[in-house]
Amino acid sequence: MQPLQLELRDRLRLRKPHPCGGYDWEVVRLGADIGLRCETCGRRVLLPRSEVERRVKQKLPPLSQTDSNAEV
Ligand SMILES: [Zn+2]
């Protein structure tokens, strides 16, 4: 079990969707609690790191403005 390496602006996909239907989140705050912003509705939440580690399904590649044709 590898520790989750988090940095600001990392993008995460969680196992369960937000009520808005979005799965993808951006890390906006690091600390004892991790701040995440829903990429779909823009809402922010604070979760304990242990909770984030449980919920994360995968890390997503960073969004790049020059790379708009990411494969799905
Ligand atoms: Zn949302």
Q: How far is the CA of 14 from the centre of ligand 1 (A)?
A: 12
Q: How far is the CA of 8 from the centre of ligand 1 (A)?
A: 19
Q: How many other C-beta atoms are found inside a 10 Å radius of the C-beta of residue 33?
A: 14
Q: What is the distance between the alpha carbons of residues 2 and 5, in angstroms, rounded to a whole number?
A: 9
Q: How far is the CA of 38 from the centre of ligand 1 (A)?
A: 5
Q: How many other C-beta atoms are found inside a 10 Å radius of the C-beta of residue 69?
A: 4
CB under 8 Å to 44, separation ≥6 — which residues? Answer: 28, 35, 36, 37, 38
Per-residue pLDDT tens digits of the chain, which is 72 residues long: 567 889 999 999 999 999 999 999 999 999 989 999 999 999 999 999 999 999 999 999 877 666 555 555
Domain boundaries defined on the chain: 11-60
Tell whether pTM > 0.85: no
